[in-house]
A and B are shown apart, each in its own frame.
Chain A
Amino acid sequence: MGATAAIAGLGITDMGKVYGRTATDFAADALALALDDAGLEAADVDGLLVNANHSDEMAPTLQFSLGLTDLTLVSAMSAFGSTAGAMLQYAAQAIQSGQANVVACVYADAPLTEGGSISRSAYGGQRAIAPGFAGLRLAYGDYGPANSMYALALRRHMHLFGTTHDQLGTIAVGQREWALKNPRAQMRRPMTIADYHASRWVVEPLHLYDCCLVSNGGVAVIVTSAERSRGLRQPPVYLRGFGQCAPGDPARSGREPAIHTGATRSGELALRQAGIELADVDVLELYDCYTYTVLVTLEDYGFCAKGEGGAFVADGRLGPGGELPCNTGGGQLSSYYMWGFTPLSEGVIQARGHGGGRQVEDHGHVLVSGNGGALNFHSTTILSPYDA
C-alpha cells in the first residue's frame, strides 16, 4: 500500500539572531510561507499541531493568533526533541481516518534577546529554587542540565568504547561543510578539526562545537492526503514510515540509557512501515543537539555496531561527497536549532530535490530522526518523493 499522507508545504523563516519578534510572529510567518509554498489558503487548514517547547506561546491558543478557524484537530504536543516525528505521525493518522484534511505542524521559538546571553536564556537552566529535589541539582551547580546529561552520556561512551574527540570532531566539521552550502545556515565560516579541538569546553567532554546552536525562528509544514498533495504546487514528500520509542526511567539501574537509545526500536518500526531496509536509506537528517547524539543514533539504527560509531564517522562519510550524507543543511550544530524541525525541514528539501548546491543526487529515501530529553525520547520518519 502506498503512503496515505504527504508533506505539501514547507515554510522556514529567517533564522538565528533575528530580534524583536515573538515566537507567535515566527509561527505565523512560517505558516504563511508554508501555505504559499503549497498553494493553499489559511481557510484550507482544518488541523493544527503545535510543538510545545520552552515558549509559553507554543500552546493550543496559538490557533487564535494564527487566525485559523473551525479546526477539527488541534493540540500542543510534547515529546521534547522527538515531537516533530510524532506530530507527523498523528497528522497522517488524522488524515487517514478522516478527522482532518490539511494539518499544519508548527514550531517557533524566540529565546535569544539582543545583548542577552544564551546561558541566561531558557537553555541556561533555571535559577529560582523550586522546593524538593529540584534544588539539589542547583546545589551541585548543575544549571544547564542538557549539557551535563549529554556530557555524562558521552563520557560513558568514551569509557566503554574508546570514542575520541578526533572522531566526534569529524561530525562537527562535516556538518559545517554542509552548512557552507546552505544560505539559511547561521554558521557560514569554515571549521577545521583544529578549530574544533580549540573550541572551549562547555561541560567537558563537550567542546563548544559539540553543542547545537540556539536560534530564533519558525518552521511549519503542511500535511495533507497523498492524493491531494499531487495536485498542489510542490512535488509531494510522502510520509512513508513512522516510529517512536521512549525507553523509560533513566535512573533505573541495569540499563545503559546513555548508550542504548530508542532509535533502535523506532528505526525498526519506521523502516518496516516504509517497506525498506537500512541499506535503502539515501540521506540522513539526524537530530544533532550534540555530536554525540549523531554518533549514538547511527549505532542504534544499525548503520554500524554498538561502540563502533567513532570509527564509522571518522572517515568523513557523513560530509559532502561521503557515502552517507548526513545533516546536509548543517544540522542543529551549524544551521539552525528548531528542535525536530531542523532535520525535518532539511529532509523535505532533500526529498523534493530542492537542495541546490547541497542536493544529494540519490534522495529516494530520507531518514529523519528526533531525539528528546537526554536520549530518552526518539522518533523516526521516512520521507520519500515516491509514494511506494
Chain B
Amino acid sequence: MTTTAAPAKPVPIPDEASAPFFAGARDGRLMLLRCRRCATFMSPTAYLGVPVRPRCVACYAGDLEWAPSTGRATLYSFALVHQIYDEAFAADVPYNIAVVETDEGVRLTAQVVDCPNEALAIGMALDVTFERLSDEVAIPKFRPRP
C-alpha cells in the first residue's frame, strides 16, 4: 500500500524585524510592541503581511520596544475555513482563524486550539500557547482558559 504524504505546512521565516517575536515564541513568550514614551502596547503589524509597524499607534513616537504580553486574551471573532487552499491543511478543515484581543488591548490574528469548533464563542477567555513548527520556529496560538 502506498500513501501519499500531505505536503508540509508552511513554516514562517523570521526576518530581522520579526526575529524578537519568533524568538519569544520559541521561548514561550508572546511578544508585542510597546511604546517607550507612552507605554501603549500594540500589535507588531497592522495586519499579517505588512512590515512591522514603525511608530506608536497612540502618540506616534518612533521608539518602540518588544515586551511580553501576559498571554491572556479574549476571543474577538472567529471564522471556520472549509475551503482547501493548500493540501497541507486538507485533514484539518474546517479549522478556525481567530482574532483575539489580549489583556493589553492588542488584537492579533491567530488560531484557537484544544477547542471544538462548536465551543468557540466570542468573548471566551483564552491563554496563549505555542506550537513548535521546527527547531527554530514556534508560533503563538490560544486555548480556552481552564
- Cα of A143 to Cα of B42 in the assembled complex, Å: 24
Name which residue of chain A comes closest to B76, CB basis. A156
Whether, in the assembled complex, A43 has its beta carbon less than 8 Å from a beta carbon of chain B, the answer is no
A367 within 8 Å of B (CB atoms): no
Residues of A within 8 A of B9 (CB): 139, 141
Given A140-B110, A253-B105, also A132-B78 (CB < 8 A):
no
Partner of B12, one of A135, A142, A144: A135
Chain B 82-99, CB-CB to A under 8 Å as 1, else 0, gives 111110010010110101
Which residue of chain A is the closest to B89 with respect to CB atoms? A141
- Chain A's nearest CB lies how many Å from the CB of B18? 5
Does any Cβ of A come within 8 Å of B6's Cβ?
Answer: no
Q: CB-CB contacts of A139-156 with B at 8 A, as 1s and 0s?
A: 111111101110111011
CB-nearest residue of chain B to A160: B122
- Is B70 on the interface with A (CB-CB < 8 A)? no
The distance from the CB of B73 to the nearest CB of chain A, in whole angstroms, is 11
Interface residues of A in 191-242 (CB under 8 A from B): 200-206
A132 and B13 contact, CB distance less than 8 A: yes
A130–B49 Cα distance when bound, in Å, is 9
- Size bin of chain A's contact surface: 35 or more
The distance from the CB of B19 to the nearest CB of chain A, in whole angstroms, is 9
Verify B82–A140 contact, CB threshold 8 A: no
Q: Name the CB-closest residue of A to B9.
A: A139
Chain A residues closer than 8 Å to B81, beta-carbon distance: 141-142, 148, 203-204
Near B by CB (< 8 A), chain A positions 70-129 give 119, 124-125, 127, 129
B45 part of interface (Cβ distance < 8 Å): yes
Nearest Cβ on chain B to A213's Cβ, whole angstroms: 15
Q: Are B97 and A155 in contact (CB under 8 A)?
A: no
Residues of chain B within 8 A of A189, CB atoms compared: none
Residue of B nearest to A256 (CB): B76
In the A-B complex, the 3 residue pairs with the closest CB atoms = A135-B12, A143-B85, A151-B79
| Residues of A participating in the B interface, judged by any CB pair closer than 8 Å | 119, 124-125, 127, 129-145, 147-149, 151-153, 155-156, 159, 200-206, 249-254, 258, 374
24 A–B pairs (Cβ distance < 8 Å), ordered by A? A127-B86, A129-B13, A131-B15, A132-B15, A132-B17, A133-B12, A133-B18, A133-B45, A138-B86, A139-B10, A139-B133, A140-B97, A141-B85, A141-B97, A142-B48, A143-B86, A145-B49, A147-B79, A152-B99, A202-B83, A249-B46, A250-B46, A252-B107, A253-B106
